[in-house]
């Protein structure tokens, strides 16, 4: 059964302690961890609080930067990723999100070589700790500092060499929610989907990293959830909202409205897939 989660990036100004208590208050039983907040609070203390509040972990965010764009060496990035894997294991996280890193003046072939070398090292390590790794394709120009992986073909090439139990993808609807290619090919990746992140995109500023309240933008979220339900996706739906359009909205209001919206989409997808409705899920794009 799908759980509704929220990523700590969505409540940037709150502390880890506030996040856990407030998420629980507004009906969330799962959350995506931001490693910086966990470190500020203390890892042991964070694990205890999660256990006390019966809060599961949909994702740990993030590890990567294997191309050196973050200013650290390849070996340093690998050791940091192993730290993140151990954290993900200790909180029984659904997955650890990986951002490969920017091109950083590398050729495409060399950037691919670096991430492939990283995966050769990290996939067996993650398997030993029973942790799933997930790469997040990103398409907007402002995300080039995080990853050079921005399309379906690159994603498949990266993950296909490794077992689906350990390595898959994060489907962030902000980045791929308007991609017909991802929608068409999703059945071929159904066993690789480790996490679905829910976000909406401003119609006026579609290519910047500016997320807007769910249902107010141009991403056909309900259609995606119907498609995912038909494919048998039973993992978490993790809300991630931040950017200019979210700045004037109180976190408490965002949490309440977002939970209600996603819950309604899940109920609608269950109805559509039960045979009570004939509407075929279809990604509807806004020009």
Cα angle value 155/160/166 (rounded, 5°): 95
Long-range CB pairs of 114-117, under 8 A, 24+ apart, other chains included: 114/66, 114/67, 114/74, 115/66, 115/67, 115/149, 115/158, 116/158, 116/161, 117/66, 117/74
Find out whether the peptide bond into 189 is cis, omega within 30 degrees of 0. no
Domains, the chain, in order of start with CATH, read 4-272 (3.20.20.150)
Residue 21: which of 3, 44, 41, 1 has the closest Cα? 41
- Mapped onto helix, strand or coil, the DSSP state of residue 183 is helix
Provide the pLDDT confidence category of residue 144 given band limits of 50, 70 and 90.
low
In this predicted model, what pLDDT tens digit does every residue of 213-237 receive, in sequence order? 999 999 999 999 999 999 999 999 9
Residue 165's CB is within 10 A of a number of other CB atoms, namely: 13
- Torsion of Cα atoms, 197 then 282 then 206 then 199, to 10°: -20
Question: Residue 118: exposed, middle, or buried by beta-carbon count in 10 A (0-12, 13-18, 19+)?
Answer: buried
Q: In Å, what is the CA distance from 154 to each residue of 71, 110, 167, 278?
A: 24, 14, 14, 35
Mean pLDDT of 111-140: 93
Higher pLDDT, 280 or 258: 258
Task: Tell me whether residue 218 is exposed, middle or buried, using C-beta atoms within 10 angstroms of its C-beta: 0 to 12, 13 to 18, 19 or more.
Answer: middle
Residue 287 pLDDT grade (very low, low, confident, very high; cuts 50, 70, 90): very low
pLDDT per residue as tens digits for the range 36-91: 999 999 999 999 999 999 999 999 999 999 998 777 899 999 999 999 999 999 99
Q: Report helix, strand or coil for 101.
A: strand
How many CB atoms are located within 10 Å of the residue 80 CB? Answer: 16
């Amino acid at each position: 059964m799908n759980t509704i989660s929220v990523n700590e990036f969505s409540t940037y100004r709150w502390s880890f302690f506030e996040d856990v208590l407030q998420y629980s208050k507004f009906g969330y039983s799962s959350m995506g961890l931001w490693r910086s907040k966990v470190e500020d609070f203390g890892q042991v203390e964070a694990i205890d609080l999660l256990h006390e509040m019966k809060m599961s972990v949909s994702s740990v965010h993030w590890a990567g930067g294997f191309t050196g764009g973050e200013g650290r060496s390849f070996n340093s990035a690998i050791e940091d990723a192993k730290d993140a894997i151990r954290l993900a294991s200790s909180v029984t996280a659904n997955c650890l999100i990986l951002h490969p890193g920017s091109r950083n003046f590398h050729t495409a072939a060399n950037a691919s070589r670096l991430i492939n070398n990283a995966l050769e090292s990290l996939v067996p390590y993650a398997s030993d700790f029973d942790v799933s790794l997930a790469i997040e394709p990103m398409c907007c120009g402002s995300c080039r500092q995080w990853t050079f992986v921005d399309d379906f073909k690159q994603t498949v090439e990266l993950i296909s060499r490794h077992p689906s139990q350990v390595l898959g993808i994060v489907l962030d609807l902000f980045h791929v929610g308007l991609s017909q290619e991802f929608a068409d090919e999703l059945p071929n990746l159904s066993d690789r989907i480790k996490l679905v992140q829910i976000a909406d995109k401003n119609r006026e500023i579609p290519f910047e990293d500016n997320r807007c309240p769910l249902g107010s933008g141009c991403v056909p979220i309900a259609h995606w959830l119907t498609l995912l339900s038909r494919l048998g996706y039973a993992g978490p739906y993790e809300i991630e909202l931040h950017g200019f359009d979210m700045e004037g909205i109180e976190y408490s209001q965002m949490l309440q409205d977002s939970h209600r919206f996603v819950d309604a989409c899940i109920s609608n997808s269950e109805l559509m897939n039960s045979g009570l409705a004939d509407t075929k899920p279809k990604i509807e794009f806004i020009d």
